[in-house]
Structures are given as structure tokens and as C-alpha cells.
Amino acid sequence: MQQWLDDLIAGTAWLQALPTGLVYTIGILVACKLILLFSSLLAGEVVWLERRVSGRMQARIGPNRVGPQGLLQFLADGVKLLSKEDVIPATADRPVFVLAPILVYLGAFAAFCVIPFGYGLVAADMNVGLFLVLAITSIEVVGVIMAGWASNSKWAVLGAMREVAQMISYELPLGLSALAIALLAGTLNLTDIALQQEGWLWNWYVFRGPFAFAAFFLFFTAALASLKRAPFDLPEAESELVAGFHTEYTGFRFAIFFLAEYSAMILFSMLAAVLFLGGWSPGFPVDLTGPAARWIGFGILFAKTAFLLFVMIWVRWSLPRFRIDKVMYLCYKVLLPLSVVCVLGLSLQVLLGEVLWGDQSAFGRWLMGLGVHGGIR
């Protein structure tokens, strides 16, 4: 972004008169605001999508009154939540209670600053982008445990405990399956990872061998669990815990939790699209790095994100909820060993491929081709 700001300053006379530090600061604030707008408005629309899709799956209509097809429903809901009474329980721990939703939202939203929306359309093109996303989203856990504890309610504490146990556990398969892609890419910079997948469809990291293919599904499952989406929605299981850690929250504070959940869904869908599904690559060789073409790239990435979001909603309304011990079993005895196997397999693939064929993905593609061939026969 610094390059972009420098160009802007060099081309605009009245900006040169201002102190450079001030322009940078304002530029950073504007970028933050844009990302905030993007994530919160889109989160509103994902809520609408969720309600419409679930309606469709349950043979009813869903919200279709406010705006075309009900697209503006989230604005009406927002106004409703804003105008509700803001209740803080008398026995709650006030400062912690107020701080908790802010931390949860921070964890969901701050990581957007390293996500490349298209070539060059990134707020902070960091060398450790992938690591930053995993680190920032772990802040959400602290917010949730604060909310659960400060509410001074059984349901909230139970929900927060489940949430913490679940999120800390699923960070392991999530991180390991992302590490598998870092092994292939040789970098943690998300723009570089996306650029390496340009060209034909088989350049996407999902299609670089059986281990990378498995890593995508491991990543997506672990992401579902750390987003506390059904079938892993135990922290807020409404039939057991009322609403889990946000039972005592009302009005706009509740809305912030809600927005954070959907923002995090968008974040992980975008991350999965960038890591595994080729980023802004449409699946055939085309240069999308030009100043106008990068917006087409943004559209393509957005379509992939929307598809993954739809899959998340689809899964939620198709599968029943797990039991908490089954959730832990799945993490430590199924997903974790599988993701370790993925990392080992991919290291072997990179090593063998580079030694024998001079191409790190050659061995993996050969294995995958063998599998597809066997499948067709």
C-alpha cells in the first residue's frame, strides 16, 4: 500500500503540501474503514443468504420483503437491534462485559488487512500474511472467554468453556493444513501464494497432488469448527445453552457478535480460496495484474468466496450437531493425525519432485493422475 500512496502523493499537488506521515496515517485509516465497510456489509448479506438458503432447504420462503428479494433485510434488522434496550446484567463484570464484543469483532475483522482481494488490492502486503491471519483470529477466543465470564451466567460460562476448548484444539489441524500449503509455496505472503497458482486449473494448490487435495478438506473442516458453525456449533447450542456465551447480550452488542461470526466466515472462505482454489485465477492462463484487470480478478475471487460461503450454509442446514466429546475426538484422533500425514506427504512430494523431476508438484500430479485414472476405470 505504501507504493500506491507514494504514487498518489507524487501525482497530487495538494497532498505534497501535507506532511507525509499525516498522509500515510489518513491512508491507513481510510483502508481500515474500507475493509470494515466491506466485511460488515457483506456479513449482513451473508446473513440474508443464510436465511434464504435455509428457507429454501426447509421448503419455505425466507425474508423477501425489504428490498429486491429481501436483500436489504440486514439494514432493517440493524435498525431494530440499534433501537433495542441495551441491558447489562446487574451482576455482570461491567468493563469486561463491554470490552468482550469489541475483542471478538477485532479478531474477526483485523485479519482482512492481509487478504489480497485481487492483485495489489491488499491493505498490508506482509511477508507473514498467512501467519497473521491465524494469529489474529486466535484473539477471538479471548473475547469469547471474557464474554462468557463477565456475563456471570451458567449458560454463558459453559458456552465459553466449550468454545475455548474447541477453538484451541482446532487451531492445530487448521494451522497444519495451512502449513502444508506454505510448504508447497515456500512463502507466507498471500499475494505470492495466489500468484503461484496462475495458469491452468491444475496449477491450483488443491490439484497439486493427493496430500494437497486432502489438506483443503482438512482446512475447511477445521475452519468450520473454529468458526463454531454447525455441526460444530456447541458453544452456542441453542437447544442446550440458550445462546451460549452471548446469552446475556442484547441490542447492538449482540449484533456485534453476530457480525463477527459472519465476518469470520467471509475471512476463512477468502483465505481458503486464496490458499487452495487459485485466488483470482479463473482456471486458464490470463493476466489479471493490470490496473483494471485486477478488479475482474476481485470478481473471480469473490465468486469463489461466495461458493464456499454457500457450502458452509449448506452444511449447517444439512447436518445435526456433534456431541462435545465427539468434537474433541474428531479433532485429536482424526483431523490432527491426518493433517500431520498431509504435511509429511507434501514435504516428501516437494523433495522427491525436485530431486527426480525438477518440479516440486510433478510427483503429486502423477499420483493424482493415477488416482483419477483408477477412479474412471
Q: Does 174 help bind another protein (rule: CB under 8 A)?
A: no
Spatial distance between the Cα atoms of 227 and 98, rounded to a whole number of angstroms: 22
Among 71, 128, 343, 362, binds another protein (CB under 8 A): 128
Q: Cα-atom radius of gyration of the chain, to the nearest Å?
A: 22
- Tell me how far, at minimum, the Cβ of 19 lies from another protein, in Å: 4
16 binds another protein (CB under 8 A): yes
Nearest CB to another protein, comparing residues 84 and 326: 326
Tell which one of 36, 71, 88, 139 touches another protein (CB under 8 A): 139
At position 200, the amino acid (one-letter code) is W
Q: Least distance in Å: CB of 42 to another protein?
A: 25
Long-range contacts of 288-297 (CB under 8 A, 24+ apart): 288/118, 288/119, 288/198, 289/119, 289/120, 294/118, 294/119, 294/120, 294/121, 295/118, 295/121, 297/118, 297/119
DSSP conformation class of 148: H
Among 31, 35, 47, 134, contact with another protein (rule: CB under 8 A): 134
What CA–CA distance (Å, rounded) separates 299 from 283?
14
**C-alpha cell at position 371:** 488416482
Kindly state the cell numbers that stand for 252. 447492538
* Residue 264: other Cβ atoms inside 10 A: 25
Out of 37, 87, 168, 334, name the contact with another protein by CB under 8 A.
168
Total binding residues toward another protein, as defined by CB under 8 A: 34
Our CB check for another protein shows the closer of 66 and 96 to be: 96
Contact set for another protein, span 181-210 (CB under 8 A): 188
In the complex, minimum distance from the CB of residue 219 to another protein, in angstroms, rounded to a whole number: 17
Residue 142, interface with another protein (CB under 8 A)? yes
Site for another protein in 75-114 (CB under 8 A): 93, 96, 99
Span of 39-47, 71-79, 138-146, 309-317 interacting with another protein by CB under 8 A = 138-146
- Asked whether position 30 contacts another protein by CB under 8 A, the answer is no
Among residues 145, 156, 176, 179, which is the contact residue for another protein, using CB under 8 A?
Answer: 145
**SS3 (DSSP) at 167:** helix
User: Using the rule CB under 8 A, which residue among 126, 286, 341, 362 binds another protein?
Assistant: 126
As given in the structure block, the three cell numbers for residue 83 are 433501537
Residue 142: CB minimum distance to another protein, A: 6
Find the DSSP H helices in 186-285: 190-195, 210-226, 238-241, 251-275
21 lies in the site for another protein, by CB under 8 A: yes
Residue bearing cell 497432488: 209
Per the CB < 8 A criterion, the answer to whether 95 and 7 are in contact is: no
* Nearest CB to another protein, comparing residues 31 and 47: 31
Cβ distance to another protein smaller for residue 13 or 79: 13
68 Cβ neighbours under 8 A, 6+ residues apart:
none
Choose, by CB under 8 A, the member of 3, 10, 11, 14 that binds another protein.
Answer: 14
CA distances from 116 to 1, 44, 190 (A): 11, 21, 7
For position 131 contacting another protein by CB under 8 A, the verdict is yes
What is the residue-wise DSSP string for 316-343? HTTSPPPPHHHHHHIIIIIIHHHHHHHH
Angle of CA points 218, 223, 227, to nearest 5°:
155
Q: Summarize as ranges the residues that interact with another protein (CB under 8 A).
A: 13-14, 16-22, 25, 93, 96, 99, 126-128, 131-132, 134-136, 138-139, 141-142, 145-146, 149, 157, 161, 164, 168, 171, 188
